[in-house]
Amino acid sequence: MDATLVRTAATEAGARPLRRHPRLPLALAASLCGVLLASSFAVALALRSADSHAGGGAAALPPSAHAAATASTARAIGPAAPAIPAAPGDVQWDDCLRRLQDAPARLQRVSDAWLEHVPSRDGLCLRRQDDHWLAGWRTGLVPEDFLADGGDRQRILDVQTLLAAQGLYDGALDGLYGPRMRAAISRFQSRRGLAAGGAPDAATLYLFDTLLAAGPVAGGPEVPEPSRHVHD
């Protein structure tokens, strides 16, 4: 039978011709297959990564490695070795500093010349470092006591009395930090191997504290009350 007649009969019977799908080129098919495999691999990695984060993000260190890491961190933060004795007869450095923790304290480098003029080492923590000492002590006098506004006039008066007793201050005992007081502190510092600038620095104030604690000027004069004019 003629093929034309077959197609005509099929059309009249309501049949639809089959559509042939073009075959994919071999290279394209291989490319698509590679994409699918890569996608599957990426999904697998993502799932594994998610599981890792959900479980803490890193494998736990074995006990020995964990101990080594902890020790390394401790060395970075601070020395874990036994405290170094400050000087013969003194308590160990760390133990001495612990005794200062219940009150305001100061930690500062000081020289041998300064140390020679310290009346007493009671309550003073010392540790030798190269060509200087590292000293720690409880603070009594502070530089803020010498401020013109908000200072402690009674404490300044105690220092004035101390300096006057040593022949270093010849001004009025008024509890004020003025030019004469600054000059007196400068002379005091020069005698004790300190930078003689007349400023009440921490090392100078510690010497004042120890001398005042010895008591030779205890009970000295008090800050005079401001004069009042009474009108009848």
Q: Do residue 148 and residue 203 come from a single domain?
A: yes
Same domain? 160 vs 197 = yes
78 found inside a domain: no
Residues 151 and 201 in one domain: yes
Single residue among 138, 166, 191 that ends a domain in this structure: 138
Query: Of 14-28, 61-75, 118-132, 146-160, where does mean pLDDT reach its minimum?
Result: 61-75
Residues 147 and 206 in one domain: yes
Q: What percent of the chain has pLDDT over 90?
A: 31
Best-predicted range by mean pLDDT (57-61, 74-78, 184-188, 207-211):
184-188
190 and 172 housed in the same domain: yes
In a domain, 74, yes or no: no
Same domain as 169, residue 191: yes
Q: Which two tokens stand for residue 30?
A: 């291989």
What is this structure's pTM? 0.53
Higher pLDDT, 182 or 149: 182
Identify the bridge partners of residue 109 per DSSP, sorted by sequence position. Answer: 134
Q: How many domains does the chain have?
A: 2
210 and 149 housed in the same domain:
yes
Domain stop point among 138, 161, 192: 138
**Mean predicted confidence (pLDDT) in 21-30:** 41
pLDDT in tens, 173-212: 999 999 999 999 999 999 988 889 999 999 999 999 999 9
Average the pLDDT over 150-174 and give the result: 95
In a domain, 7, yes or no: no
Classify residue 33: in a domain, yes or no. Answer: no
Same domain, 151 and 179: yes
Q: Specify if 37 maps to a domain.
A: no
The residue range of the domain holding 126 is 93-138
CB 196 within 8 A of CB 221: no
Q: How far is CA 114 from the centre of its chain?
A: 28
Q: Is the pLDDT of residue 85 over 60?
A: no
210 shares a domain with 147 = yes
Q: Give 110's strand partners.
A: 133
Instruction: Please compute the mean of the pLDDT values over residues 55-61 and round it to a whole number.
Output: 37
The CATH number that applies at residue 179 is 1.10.101
Whether 203 and 159 map to the same domain: the answer is yes
Is residue 220 in some structural domain?
A: no
> In Å, how far from its chain's centre is CA 151?
29
Same domain, 108 and 128: yes
Tokens in use for 26? 């071999």
**E strand or H helix that includes residue 180:** helix 179-191
